[in-house]
Amino acid sequence: MSAEQVPGYRVWALPGMPEVRPGDDLVKLIAAAATADGLPQLADGDVLLVTSKIVSKAEGRVLEATDREAAIDRETVRVVARRGTLRIVQNRQGLVMAAAGVDASNTRAGTVLLLPEDPDASARAIRAGLRTALGVDVGVVVSDTFGRPWRAGLTDVAIGAAGVRVLDDLRGGTDAYGNPLSATVVATADELAAAGDLVKGKATGLPVAVVRGLGHVVESAGDGDGARALVRDAGSDMFRLGTSEAVREAVTLRRTVRAFTDEPVDPGAVRRAVAAALTAPAPHHTTPWRFVLLESAEARRRLLDAMREAWIADLRADGKSPESIAKRVRRGDVLRNAPYLAVPCVVADGAHSYPDARRGAAEREMFLVAGGAGIQNFLVALAGEQLGSAWVSSTMFCRDVVRDVLGLPENWEPMGAVAIGRPAGAPKERPPRAADDFVVVR
């Protein structure tokens, strides 16, 4: 391969950009900086990399604000994580970043800069304006500085784009060894933004850079998808929340689900939920939790049939009518219709014995409370696995039957049954509850 055939590109900062102020014609300023001796210094296929700060200034996104935190509040739609005063949030543009992108640097004292209202639209306007002013067809990337999960330091990424292939999807191709590429999607616009930052810098007064030699990433027709395509949707974002926020959301998402799809349940997900259950508090350093996992349809049928017979016998003994019995038994369908069942049990190994009934009853209650704590952990962890659940108390009313059918030791106390599966629909909105209504302060 000759030197001319070796892939390469050139990147440089565009000199001559003045201080941008609200209301300035940004296209006119860039066009002037990109013209020398009456000739445009931009060419078809170039990519222009524009720092978002000058876009914000030109568009009047300068806010008089002595309180930056209040500005962050206004730009935030969802808090992702909070550590002290640092907030990682999703802002009104859909970007997840520190402080909602509100910046107090490179602007006069007493003001803050907000991100462009629509960075993709800003990029489209710059591209169209340069086509008219200079007669060139360039790609445009509007960039901003981000921190990244798992990595120290900052880098520029694309928050707006026009005429640039923001994602290069290599799936379906092969590598140099012939191996199929099944997951490789390159964030081309982010790579361009980072390349531009190397020559623009953070405090050099060079807010615009040019990349030449990568014409294949410039869209030949139309403005392309824009940088919005780089933002993961909620369904594919595995790291949507910080640790403490994820725990709180999982607790909130834990809802009783009574209708499930036929989609099979991953046994590994249930076992991970069991592992979470085992972190609950328990008396005397004991581990009183046991979980019987009914993974076969036959095991579920045998248990539920036996429980139904015991329930019907109890209801008949109570003098209930056949219609009343049928109606009550139908309430157990949530267990019968679930693709997976778990029967949590409490084993009071390590319980202290006392000569009087009062302390003996309290000892038993301690273990039952620990069992409930473990079940709550289990249900919350299932919600974190995107699984719905319903904790039904029915096994507690026929423990001997349950132990007999499942072959459990006599000292295992079934604590209800948990129906598990993918929710068939979104749960109803839960009425808000004010914490103060449940608090007594002394």
Domain limits, the chain? 8-61+116-236, 249-438
Average pLDDT score, the chain: 90
Calculate the dihedral angle through the C-alpha atoms of 127, 130, 135, 137, rounding to the nearest 10 degrees.
Answer: -30
Does 2 score more than 60 pLDDT? no
The DSSP-derived string for 189-205 is HHHHHHHHHHHH-SSSS
Q: Is the pLDDT of residue 378 over 80?
A: yes
Instruction: Please name which of 334, 329, 331 lies closest in space to residue 316, comparing C-alpha atoms.
Output: 329
Mean pLDDT of 416-442: 89
Residue 91, beta-bridge partner list? 76
Per-residue pLDDT at 3 exceeds 60: no
Higher local confidence (pLDDT), 251 or 173 = 173
pLDDT greater than 90 at residue 150: no
Res 173: pLDDT: 84
68-85: string of b/e by CB count within 10 Å (b at 16+)?
Answer: eeebbeebbeeebbeeee
Closest by CA position to 253, among listed 245, 262, 264: 245
The conformational region for residue 6 under phi > 0 = left, psi -120 to 50 = alpha, else beta, is beta
CATH class (in words) of the domain with range 8-61+116-236: alpha beta
Alpha-carbon gap, residue 379 to 251, rounded angstroms: 9
Give the model confidence (pLDDT) of 200-238 as tens digits: 976 678 999 999 999 999 987 889 999 999 998 877 777
- Is 153:188 a contact under the CB 8 Å cutoff? no
Residue 27 pLDDT greater than 80, yes or no: yes
Cβ distance 144 to 115 under 8 Å? Answer: yes
401/407 Cα distance (integer angstroms) = 10
326-376 pLDDT, tens digit per residue, is: 888 777 678 888 999 999 999 999 989 999 999 999 999 999 999 999 999
Q: Which residue has the tokens 């699984």?
A: 387
pLDDT, position 203:
65
- Helix (H) or strand (E) run with residue 111 in it: strand 111-113
Contacts of 265 (CB under 8 A, 6+ apart): 339, 340, 387, 420, 421, 422
**How far is residue 80 from each of residues 148, 150, 220, 242, 429, measured CA to CA in Å?**
13, 15, 37, 6, 22
pLDDT of residue 182: 79
CB 4, CB 10: distance < 8 Å: no
Residue % of the chain over a pLDDT of 90:
62
CATH topology of domain 249-438: NADH Oxidase (3.40.109)
